[in-house]
Structure 1
Amino acid sequence: MDVVWDGVRCAEQLRQQAALVRHSLADAAKTGDWAQVFDVLSAHSDLVNVTRLDGPSLYAPLHQAAHGGAPVAIAQRLIDMGAWRTLQNARGERPVDVAERRGHRQLLDILAPRCKHSVPLGILLRIQGLFHDVIRGRIVREFKLPEQELRLPELEPLLELDLPEMWFPVPGMYGGFRFRIDQTGVNATLISESWSRVVDGSGHRHLITSEGTKLVEEGFV
């Protein structure tokens, strides 16, 4: 099963019922109604890292747990369901940073990132910026889609995964971007494969390092 980076930010990108589910999840997490949060996630586990539609804070449920000082067991359950410890809010804070700022020291240990792969942060952010350039080049200039309605992928959560790979579906593109870290350390490499299933030969494969981006294959799919 693919790990998905859900970049949807606007309610208008979704059907009404799907938007209502996300609003319900965001409301429950903000008020600390964890029974309701887990009721929603039991049916929609893929939403564990999503944020409020049309909201500015980019708080996922684990950020809300950190903000409100939820019991450690709540944070652990969210993490067990796939919540990322390294996901950032709009201020650039991870859940552990929110908990520290709010004085919820009992959560610092459980929220401390546990990365299974290592890439120096400066190198990772450089690669991330170049990856975003690739995404914009395709969805804005090639497919004429509004980039401002999407939350582009952050790469740090990849480091938490056994297999550092995700799928980023793009509404309106009828496809998206599959991306993975192929090498780690100072020689870290990101491989991005993107396509639209309604456009023959639209496949692009890019190899991205901190030194630049190279289109290594095109025309597949």
Structure 2
Amino acid sequence: MPPRAVWDGVTDRSCYRQREVERRDRLADAARAGDWSAVFGWLDANPGLVNVGRVGGSSGYTVLHQAAWHGTDVGTAERLLDLGAWRTLRAGSGERAIDIAERRGHRHLVSMLRPVIRHPVPPDVLGGLQRQLHALVEQRAGELIRKHAARLPQLGPLTELENPQFWFPVPRMYGGFSYRLDGMELVVDSWCRVVGGSGQTHRVMADGIQLVESGWG
């Protein structure tokens, strides 16, 4: 089974070493400029950056959003998708890559950017799950989330992954939240690795949260 994906919610540049911030800035600069040779140079060496934007950036654009904005050729977009770019990921405006391409009139990209859903969940259920997950994160780590202005997870990408599981590391928590799709529900494990017995497992439904187990870890 493919490894779980990572939801990178960090917006506070002080949470990273300067070298990491600069690396992400250069990738974001290259994508914004439409310099795809430079983009793939960075992504070939750092494939885990394909779904992240500039740290602290307001647009929330990843390389796929930028490709849609520029109206890049089909081959470039296909290569980004092959690297694991998420079609369902929404930028700060709420737009997916397909929405940006349609708005900009880049019809040649629309079919390719249409999300391929492996785990269908009705929109109202997915929205409910996302709200409940955010409530759980607030309950468990709200102070850290607010202090570092972390972006909470979008659940759309869960539905397009072969392995519908994510890891959401919370800045300065020394841990975070592992969440996976289980039918129309989520199973969420959360812990702080420097606090013994802090582990909790919850089942998240569209209309509520149930504590399943606590005290582990």
Residue 182 (1) aligns with residue 178 (2): no
CA deviation vs aligned residue, 1:84-139 (integer Å, no higher than 9, x gap): 00000111110000000000000001100001011001110111011001011111
- Paired with 1:111 and 1:145, the residues of 2 have a C-alpha distance of 31
Q: How does 1:1-221 map to 2 (within 5 A)?
A: 1-141=3-143, 144=144, 146=146, 149-183=149-183, 188-221=184-217
Aligned partner of 1:129: which letter?
R
Deviation at 1:10, TM superposition (A): 2.3
Deviation at 1:147, TM superposition (A): 5.2
Q: What secondary structure, in the 3-state scheme, does the structure 1 residue paired with 2:6 have?
A: coil
Aligned partner of 2:122: which letter?
P
- Paired with 1:161 and 1:64, the residues of 2 have a C-alpha distance of 21
- Paired with 1:147 and 1:133, the residues of 2 have a C-alpha distance of 16
- Paired with 2:56 and 2:189, the residues of 1 have a C-alpha distance of 28
Aligned partner of 1:204: which letter?
Q
Q: Is the 8 A contact 2:197 2:215 kept in 1?
A: yes
Aligned partner of 1:109: which letter?
S
Q: Is the 8 A contact 1:85 1:111 kept in 2?
A: yes
Deviation at 1:54, TM superposition (A): 1.7
Aligned partner of 1:12: which letter?
S
Q: TM-score, normalised by structure 1?
A: 0.94
Q: CA RMSD in A?
A: 1.1
Q: Which has the higher contact order (CA 8 A, sep 6+)?
A: 2
Gapped runs of 5+ residues in structure 2?
none
Deviation at 1:53, TM superposition (A): 1.5
Aligned partner of 2:116: which letter?
R
- Paired with 1:49 and 1:198, the residues of 2 have a C-alpha distance of 29
Aligned partner of 1:48: which letter?
V
- Paired with 2:75 and 2:98, the residues of 1 have a C-alpha distance of 15
Gapped runs of 5+ residues in structure 1?
none
Q: TM-score, normalised by structure 2?
A: 0.96
Q: Is the 8 A contact 1:190 1:208 kept in 2?
A: yes
C-alpha change, 1:208 and 1:147, in structure 2 (3 Å) is farther
Q: Is the 8 A contact 1:136 1:147 kept in 2?
A: no
- Paired with 2:96 and 2:142, the residues of 1 have a C-alpha distance of 29
Aligned partner of 1:113: which letter?
P
The share of aligned pairs that are identical, in percent, is 47
Q: Is the 8 A contact 1:25 1:40 kept in 2?
A: yes
CA deviation vs aligned residue, 1:119-176 (integer Å, no higher than 9, x gap): 00111011101100101111125xx553552111111101111111011111211111
